[in-house]
Amino acid sequence: MKRVMFVCKKNSARSQMAEGFARHLGAGKIEVTSSGLEASTVRPEAIATMKDTGIDITSQTSKALNEFKSADFDVVISLCGCGVNLPPEWLERPVFEDWQLDDPAEQPEIFPRVREEIRERVTALIKSL
Protein backbone atom coordinates (compact mmCIF):
# COMPACT_ATOMS: atom_id res chain seq x y z
CA MET A 1 0.00 0.00 0.00
CA LYS A 2 1.41 3.39 -1.01
CA ARG A 3 1.88 6.02 1.69
CA VAL A 4 0.98 9.58 0.65
CA MET A 5 1.91 12.87 2.32
CA PHE A 6 0.10 16.07 1.32
CA VAL A 7 2.03 19.13 2.46
CA CYS A 8 1.24 22.83 2.46
CA LYS A 9 2.36 25.94 4.34
CA LYS A 10 0.13 25.66 7.42
CA ASN A 11 -1.80 22.39 6.93
CA SER A 12 -5.05 24.29 7.44
CA ALA A 13 -7.02 24.12 4.16
CA ARG A 14 -5.69 22.68 0.87
CA SER A 15 -3.69 19.81 2.35
CA GLN A 16 -6.54 19.03 4.76
CA MET A 17 -9.05 18.82 1.90
CA ALA A 18 -6.63 16.63 -0.09
CA GLU A 19 -6.24 14.32 2.91
CA GLY A 20 -10.02 14.08 3.25
CA PHE A 21 -10.56 13.22 -0.41
CA ALA A 22 -7.66 10.73 -0.44
CA ARG A 23 -8.95 8.94 2.67
CA HIS A 24 -12.43 8.75 1.14
CA LEU A 25 -11.53 7.93 -2.49
CA GLY A 26 -8.43 5.84 -1.77
CA ALA A 27 -9.74 3.78 1.14
CA GLY A 28 -8.01 0.39 1.10
CA LYS A 29 -5.62 1.53 -1.65
CA ILE A 30 -3.41 4.15 0.02
CA GLU A 31 -2.45 5.40 3.46
CA VAL A 32 -2.59 9.17 3.72
CA THR A 33 -1.69 12.02 6.02
CA SER A 34 -1.05 15.73 5.64
CA SER A 35 1.24 18.25 7.25
CA GLY A 36 2.47 21.81 6.97
CA LEU A 37 5.80 23.56 7.02
CA GLU A 38 4.31 24.74 10.31
CA ALA A 39 1.24 23.44 12.12
CA SER A 40 -1.82 25.62 12.73
CA THR A 41 -5.51 24.69 12.87
CA VAL A 42 -7.93 23.26 10.32
CA ARG A 43 -9.89 26.16 8.86
CA PRO A 44 -13.66 26.02 9.48
CA GLU A 45 -14.22 26.90 5.79
CA ALA A 46 -12.29 23.76 4.78
CA ILE A 47 -14.45 21.65 7.09
CA ALA A 48 -17.65 23.26 5.75
CA THR A 49 -16.76 22.97 2.06
CA MET A 50 -15.80 19.31 2.49
CA LYS A 51 -19.05 18.66 4.37
CA ASP A 52 -20.83 19.88 1.20
CA THR A 53 -19.33 16.82 -0.57
CA GLY A 54 -20.38 14.44 2.21
CA ILE A 55 -16.86 14.10 3.61
CA ASP A 56 -16.31 14.89 7.28
CA ILE A 57 -12.80 16.14 8.13
CA THR A 58 -13.62 17.42 11.62
CA SER A 59 -11.38 14.75 13.22
CA GLN A 60 -8.31 15.80 11.18
CA THR A 61 -5.67 17.90 12.91
CA SER A 62 -2.93 20.20 11.67
CA LYS A 63 0.52 18.63 11.94
CA ALA A 64 4.07 19.88 11.26
CA LEU A 65 6.17 18.18 8.57
CA ASN A 66 9.05 17.78 11.01
CA GLU A 67 6.91 15.28 12.99
CA PHE A 68 7.41 12.79 10.11
CA LYS A 69 10.24 10.98 8.31
CA SER A 70 10.40 11.30 4.52
CA ALA A 71 11.48 7.65 4.19
CA ASP A 72 8.04 6.61 5.49
CA PHE A 73 6.31 7.98 2.35
CA ASP A 74 6.20 6.90 -1.29
CA VAL A 75 4.37 9.96 -2.57
CA VAL A 76 4.78 13.60 -1.53
CA ILE A 77 2.41 16.23 -2.91
CA SER A 78 2.88 19.93 -2.26
CA LEU A 79 -0.35 21.87 -2.79
CA CYS A 80 0.97 25.41 -2.51
CA GLY A 81 4.19 25.68 -4.45
CA CYS A 82 6.08 25.18 -1.18
CA GLY A 83 8.17 22.41 -2.71
CA VAL A 84 11.11 24.81 -2.93
CA ASN A 85 10.98 25.16 0.87
CA LEU A 86 10.89 21.44 1.65
CA PRO A 87 13.98 19.65 2.95
CA PRO A 88 15.66 17.83 0.01
CA GLU A 89 14.83 14.34 1.30
CA TRP A 90 11.11 15.07 0.78
CA LEU A 91 11.70 15.99 -2.88
CA GLU A 92 13.54 12.72 -3.50
CA ARG A 93 10.65 10.34 -2.81
CA PRO A 94 9.56 8.03 -5.67
CA VAL A 95 6.74 10.47 -6.55
CA PHE A 96 6.92 14.21 -5.86
CA GLU A 97 4.47 16.71 -7.35
CA ASP A 98 3.93 20.42 -6.70
CA TRP A 99 0.32 21.30 -7.56
CA GLN A 100 0.52 25.07 -6.81
CA LEU A 101 -3.16 25.63 -6.05
CA ASP A 102 -4.60 29.02 -5.09
CA ASP A 103 -4.84 29.68 -1.35
CA PRO A 104 -8.50 29.86 -0.29
CA ALA A 105 -7.48 31.19 3.12
CA GLU A 106 -6.71 34.48 1.37
CA GLN A 107 -10.04 34.45 -0.55
CA PRO A 108 -12.63 32.28 1.24
CA GLU A 109 -15.07 32.59 -1.68
CA ILE A 110 -12.81 30.32 -3.78
CA PHE A 111 -12.96 27.36 -1.36
CA PRO A 112 -15.47 25.44 -3.56
CA ARG A 113 -13.37 25.90 -6.73
CA VAL A 114 -10.12 24.89 -5.03
CA ARG A 115 -11.90 21.91 -3.41
CA GLU A 116 -12.99 20.67 -6.86
CA GLU A 117 -9.46 21.12 -8.28
CA ILE A 118 -8.15 19.06 -5.36
CA ARG A 119 -10.82 16.36 -5.89
CA GLU A 120 -9.85 16.01 -9.58
CA ARG A 121 -6.13 15.84 -8.83
CA VAL A 122 -6.52 13.38 -5.94
CA THR A 123 -8.73 11.15 -8.12
CA ALA A 124 -6.08 11.17 -10.89
CA LEU A 125 -3.29 10.54 -8.36
CA ILE A 126 -5.06 7.49 -6.89
CA LYS A 127 -5.64 6.08 -10.40
CA SER A 128 -1.94 6.56 -11.22
CA LEU A 129 -0.81 4.58 -8.18
Written as tens digits, the pLDDT of the chain (129 aa) is 999 999 999 999 999 999 999 999 999 999 999 999 999 999 999 999 999 999 999 999 999 999 999 999 999 999 988 778 899 999 999 999 999 999 998 899 999 999 999 999 999 999 999
Q: What is the DSSP string of 71-96?
A: GG-SEEEESSSGGGGS-HHHHTSSEE
Of the residues 8, 82, 105, 118, only one is catalytic, namely: 8
| Confidence at residue 82, expressed as pLDDT on a 0 to 100 scale | 78
| Confidence at residue 80, expressed as pLDDT on a 0 to 100 scale | 87
| Confidence at residue 81, expressed as pLDDT on a 0 to 100 scale | 84
User: Catalytic site residue 8?
Assistant: yes
Contact indicator for 1, 72 with CB cutoff of 8 Å: no
**What domains can be seen in the chain, in order of their start residue?**
2-128 (3.40.50.2300)
Q: What's the rounded Cα separation, in Å, for the pair 78 and 76?
A: 7
E-strand ranges in 37-74 read none
Contact indicator for 115, 50 with CB cutoff of 8 Å: yes
User: Catalytic site residue 82?
Assistant: no
Of the residues 80, 101, 105, 125, only one is catalytic, namely: 80
